[in-house]
Structure 1
């Protein structure tokens, strides 16, 4: 069978065919673009979920006990706590802001500078030097409160852990008793987590302390770390 077509008809057919091909091609391109646009947020979300979460900070803020006076930095109890955290794969990093000789007044004066970055957990270990020097307990109480107030201001979501201390009755039994009680008093007032006595099973035991009878040996720090860990572990989410 023969199929005849004049030039005008042929031109119309070719024009129509080109139009169809053009429309189809545009539609195909749009579909691909839309698919890419749809997949892009999904891919970004996946990459974001795969990225490791930034570690939260556990800040130890104290005096020579925290600083690890007389022992290697890695032997001080904050470093030992850091090792426990790492071994469990918890998403925290430990910062040791201990300073030998620090009193509560000194801690109050530098707390704003130390808290330049937010913290998740703030472990407050100060007051021992106040007690050993017989400083007025009203001042010690006020300074510790001021430090905790600053933490609440700078890192409102932080959990505050307060390390309780005890001193020998050198300054009198009444002073020693009031000193011991002020830590629980402040912990209750501020809804802080209390370590009843930081040096439990270490304080007053010669073999676990350096010759000064105050600062723990490496073995003593291991016991202190365990005491702190029993209180701190439930706090770490």
Structure 2
């Protein structure tokens, strides 16, 4: 009787002791494999200010978050990095660029300059910094595709300044031979229903429109 009871008790223990280590190893290995696969994907780096950072809304609802979701849904071999920082100017962006270039971007989306305009920074300085950012990326990674997001500023800065500011982006795109989104906030800027109370940063609905604008140009580059 004891022998039979011992056999009944022993069998599950043997089975458990044989299968458990494999299951445990597979469980531990899975995150490492996923991490390795993720690190091997090509990188799309969004480098910008509060618009890129998704100021005032959840990050996944920003246009950058929506790009990441679209790429995941299409099972594309890319991962998206959001390097947006609220308050960023072209000068401060240039100073922190090197750290993000460690990611070796395949596509670099540059969205800077709006804060320069709102602060009345000399336009020649803004243009010089945008070109320097592009040239720095290209020097390190000649094969990287660069997409420049054009910006406009509110009318309170004066018509001449506004016009010259707007002309910076197509000029830089032409001189540096990069792709251009003519105006990132097309269909959103100036619409109170699509912007937060500050009148500058898009709502979630506004970011959906910005996403459509960006995707139109980005899709052809993927």
Q: TM-score range by the shorter chain?
A: 0.7 to 0.9
Distance apart, 1:227 and its partner CA: 0.3
Residue equivalent to 1:233: 219
Residue equivalent to 1:200: 186
Query: TM-score scaled by structure 2?
Result: 0.82
Gaps of 5+ in 2: 1-35
Whole-angstrom distance in 2 between the partners of 1:117 and 1:198? 24
Larger radius of gyration: 1
Residue equivalent to 1:85: 71
Map 1:101-180 to 2 at 5 A.
Answer: 101-180=87-166
**What SS does the corresponding residue of 1:58 show, helix, strand or coil?**
strand
Map 1:1-20 to 2 at 5 A.
Answer: none
Contact kept in structure 2, 1:77 and 1:224, CA below 8 Å: yes
Contact kept in structure 2, 1:169 and 1:175, CA below 8 Å: no
Residue equivalent to 2:55: 69
Query: TM-score scaled by structure 1?
Result: 0.77
Contact kept in structure 2, 1:61 and 1:123, CA below 8 Å: yes
CA RMSD of aligned residues (A): 1.3
Residue equivalent to 1:12: none
Whole-angstrom distance in 1 between the partners of 2:63 and 2:105? 19
Residue equivalent to 1:184: 170
Contact kept in structure 2, 1:202 and 1:223, CA below 8 Å: yes
Distance apart, 1:108 and its partner CA: 0.6
Q: How many residues align?
A: 186
Distance apart, 1:156 and its partner CA: 1.2
Gaps of 5+ in 1: 1-50
